[in-house]
């Protein structure tokens, strides 16, 4: 066995050691400026016993598109497949994750560090809810309606010029603008099916989160009933004069412990119920937002057809460019865009409120 092969074997064995709470490769492992090696194929489990969930923090850099870090949950389901510049923090259900790191036989970068810390079921559900919400917003219209707004302003200016100047002076610009607006609207409207599918998938995820939240609330109620029964039993025993003073003292201590547990369970239930209320309000806002996005995409698709016909007519009979004034009222488009922007602000305000929740 060559020294190089021996080094590969030692590295692989080190990465497959007993579970720990961190994984490092490259300069993160060597504490120097060395990058990781070529042809690596490393596996490791990170674990924190008894944890309800794990907060996973990843940083580093790999050769983008060629060297990969793959994170699996405890059921061996892929959670993340990462490459390139890495800077992520997320939460995974369960007390363990599995890591696979691979590099090809060429360029390498500085490496990767993965750490896990104990988290809670509450944090895991909250994190997923935030991710779902951001996905809906990201696949909504933030970039889209900025682009539309730019075209809208240009189109309004075109209206003004058509009304205040002779046709000969604006005809070429007007036709070019009509064609450009048509193309922009077509491109955006073409995203309709993709965007709406993404939204629907996120709403399914929201339904799952709501169910998990309700299950947790029900579990807390059952736990409270259990400890209420235990406290009642202890109170009955404490009142039993046939017991020795020591046994009655034991029951007194037990009652105090049960009271403390019940107080904590009650606070947890109140927190989960408040979280559930915010979650349901957020869902309502997101669905309203999605409907507005769908309306906007439909509006653009319809108007793209109208503007295309106007451009065609203008190209054939340039005096008909004055029919710009007969196109669909741009104020309606502005109203839809403004409604979406306002809805997004409300959703982001709910997200900020959600961030403050803790178990």
Clarify whether residues 346 and 226 are in a common domain.
yes
Domain at 100, CATH number: 2.60.120.290
- Give helix then strand counts, H and E, for the chain: 8, 8
- Write the DSSP assignment of 175-221 as a string of letters: HHHHHHHHHHHHHHHTTHHHHHHHHHHHHHHHHHHHHHHHHHHHHHH
Quote the DSSP letter at residue 241: T
Q: What is the reported pLDDT for 1?
A: 44
Clarify whether residues 210 and 340 are in a common domain.
yes
Positive/negative CA dihedral, 230, 231, 236, 239: positive
Q: Look at residue 132 and tell me if it is in a domain.
A: no
Mean pLDDT, consecutive 10-residue stretches, the chain (359 aa), reads 45 49 90 83 92 92 94 92 93 92 91 93 89 82 63 67 62 71 80 89 94 94 96 94 91 95 95 93 93 87 77 59 54 79 88 80
- Write the DSSP assignment of 64-108 as a string of letters: TTTSEEEEE-TTS-EEEEE-SEEEEEEEEESSEEEEEEE--SS--
Q: Where are the beta strands (DSSP E) in the chain?
A: 22-26, 41-47, 53-61, 68-72, 78-82, 85-93, 96-102, 111-119
Q: Look at residue 103 and tell me if it is in a domain.
A: yes
* Helix 330-355, helix 121-138: angle, nearest 10: 160
Q: Look at residue 160 and tell me if it is in a domain.
A: no
Integer angstrom CA distances of residue 249 from 90, 165, 205, 229, 238: 47, 97, 50, 19, 8
Residues in the chain: 359
Domain that holds residue 344: 188-355
Distance of CA 126 to the CA centre of its chain: 10
Q: Look at residue 274 and tell me if it is in a domain.
A: yes
Which residue shows structure tokens 């080094």? 7
Distance CA 328, CA 334 (A): 12
Clarify whether residues 194 and 85 are in a common domain.
no
Distance CA 18, CA 6 (A): 20
| Structure confidence by residue, pLDDT tens digits, 24-64 | 999 998 777 788 989 999 999 999 988 889 999 999 999 99
Instruction: Give the chain's domain count.
Output: 2
Out of 119, 143, 163, pick the residue that ends a domain: 119
Q: Look at residue 64 and tell me if it is in a domain.
A: yes
Clarify whether residues 110 and 219 are in a common domain.
no
Clarify whether residues 12 and 95 are in a common domain.
yes
Distance CA 53, CA 58 (A): 16
Q: Look at residue 339 and tell me if it is in a domain.
A: yes
Around Cβ 218, how many Cβ atoms within 10 Å?
12
Clarify whether residues 227 and 347 are in a common domain.
yes
Beta bridge partners of 71: 80, 99
Q: What is the reported pLDDT for 202?
A: 93
Clarify whether residues 106 and 198 are in a common domain.
no
Q: Look at residue 139 and tell me if it is in a domain.
A: no
Q: pTM for this structure? A: 0.70
Q: Look at residue 173 and tell me if it is in a domain.
A: no
Q: What is the reported pLDDT for 236?
A: 94
């Amino acid at each position: 066995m060559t020294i190089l092969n021996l080094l590969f074997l030692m590295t692989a064995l080190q990465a497959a050691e007993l579970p720990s709470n961190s994984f490092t490769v490259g300069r993160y492992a060597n504490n120097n400026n060395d990058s990781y090696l070529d042809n690596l194929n490393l596996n490791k489990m990170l674990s924190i016993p008894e944890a309800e969930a794990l907060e996973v923090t990843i940083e580093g850099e790999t050769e983008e598109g060629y060297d990969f870090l793959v994170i699996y949950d405890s059921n061996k389901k892929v959670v993340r497949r990462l490459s390139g510049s890495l800077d992520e923090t997320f939460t995974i259900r369960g007390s363990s994750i599995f890591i696979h790191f691979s590099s090809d036989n060429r360029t390498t970068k500085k490496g990767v560090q993965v750490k896990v810390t104990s988290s809670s079921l509450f944090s895991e559900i909250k994190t997923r809810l935030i991710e779902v919400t951001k996905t809906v917003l990201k696949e909504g219209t933030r970039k889209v309606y900025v682009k539309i707004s730019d075209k809208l302003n240009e189109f309004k200016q075109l209206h003004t010029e058509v009304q205040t100047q002779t046709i000969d002076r604006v005809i070429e610009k007007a036709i070019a603008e009509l064609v450009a607006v048509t193309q922009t609207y077509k491109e955006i409207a073409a995203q309709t099916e993709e965007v709406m599918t993404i939204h629907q998938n996120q709403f399914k995820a929201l339904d799952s989160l709501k169910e998990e939240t309700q299950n947790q609330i029900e579990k807390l109620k059952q736990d409270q009933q259990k400890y209420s029964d235990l406290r009642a039993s202890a109170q009955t025993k404490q009142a039993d004069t046939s017991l020795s003073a020591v046994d009655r003292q034991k029951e007194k201590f037990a009652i105090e412990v049960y009271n403390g547990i019940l107080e904590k369970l009650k606070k947890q239930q109140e927190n989960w119920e408040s979280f559930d209320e915010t979650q349901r309000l957020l869902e309502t806002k997101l669905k309203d937002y999605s409907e507005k996005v769908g309306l906007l995409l439909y509006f653009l698709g319809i108007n793209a057809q109208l503007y295309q016909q106007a451009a065609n007519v203008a190209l054939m009979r340039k005096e008909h460019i004055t029919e710009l004034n007969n196109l669909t009222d741009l104020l309606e488009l502005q109203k839809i865009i403004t409604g979406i922007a306002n809805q997004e602000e409300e959703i982001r305000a709910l997200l900020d409120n959600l961030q403050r929740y803790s178990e």
